[in-house]
Structure 1
Amino acid sequence: MASPEQSDEAVQVYIDLWYPDCWEIEITERFDVGILGYGIYMTGSEVATLFTVYADDHESVTEGIEAIRASENVHSVSQMASGFRQVSIPKPGNATRELLVVHDGRTQIGQPLTSRGFVCTGPVDIRGGREYWSLVTNHDRETVRVKLDEVREEMGAEITVRSMKHQSRGTAPTTLPADQFTKRQLEVFQLAREQGYYEYPKETTAGELADELGSTTSTLHEHLHKVEAVLLGRGGLTRLE
């Protein structure tokens, strides 16, 4: 039987956040790169994390890696061979590089989240000076809000809840072919989906999305149409037999 703070169904929570003294956030704010983080492995005060650095060109990736090496919170950076993973994970951007990074774990936000009952369901996407997390928990909605407030206070963090929904047994996650999109196209499409642009009736407008992204409406539509062409085309996710 679930406690008053727990739900019979898992709750999926999508958040984006910023907190001070995070080298990953600082690098994606300063350079035109994104970073995918695949889990943290504690070794005392140090942590080892697998990262994918991604961008729209190889020069930007190289520049981002040099910045990672130069960070005072990073102790070592080892490059991994391409394709070392047994399971392929789609990655945004036209250029990527896999890294094993040993760094200072004392200022990371992962532990404050997991210690409060949140489980990360996929890679953490760090881009544009913010981290994007997909979490699940058995807390009810009100407890989720309370726990996130605790993390905000502990870490001095800014946390935005992008969506919160029950993950029922019949719900299956949809995997996007992220390797077919640019970093910007993926960012625009993910925001549109999270903000309810594709719901009926729409929960947001193209103009509101464009304002949030600092873009024009025509540019927003251009990005969305390119993503939709991949998803709905002959080789996309949706096929009519």
Structure 2
Amino acid sequence: MFKPLILDIHKLNYDIANINIVNNFSLKVHLGEIIVLLGASGCGKTSILNTIAGINKAYFDKFFMQKINISYVFQEANLIPFYNAFKNIKLANNKLNDEEIYKILSLLNLNKNDALKYPNELSGGMKTRINFARAILANPTLLLLDEPFNGINYELKDFLINFLITFIKNNNKSAIMVTHDRLEALKIADYIYFLGKNSYVKKIIKLDTAQSKRNDDFYKQYLNNFELYYE
């Protein structure tokens, strides 16, 4: 099945104060794919996302991106404190009607009372779900996720991973997620990019097994071999 190419980066470089952070990084993303950048803290993963989002000024041999909507799920929810959850979500897309917002909140196990709460009244897990709702309701073709499951419990993390996979696969979206959690990567990715220092790509693995069919045996098969190219 043909999948259109939506992003093609070749030899991306990014420096801060003459210190190289990302060196000759290349990446291709097709519609419907979930790419995971897996590497230790400080290897430049977030810098790559920020460059794609237009936050960082970088240089490269090639940077092609279709005219698409992008949403960014940051590590922190970054909710406006004097807006309730509902208003924070609506900021992403002011064309949304109330029912569209309540529908996505319901899918995230949040109700209308939760929508009226202010950020200081929300738990960490609720803020994370509001963060996801806001990003998804912006109607992105490409979703950027920077360690989006930090600080939440295992059950909520698993729920959100399944929610994200369903959203992407059922709506023909794409995603690039950064993490240093190997199991997260195996649960969600179609392709895993193993990154070393300065985002050097050590290896790319394609996971052909559908996310819905992955089990403990599948995870063990890969986790046992990760030490070969992940430090």
TM range (shorter): under 0.3
TM-score by length of 2: 0.26
**Of the two, which has the highest radius of gyration?**
1
Between Structure 1 and Structure 2, the one with more strand by share is: 1
Between Structure 1 and Structure 2, the one with more helix by share is: 2
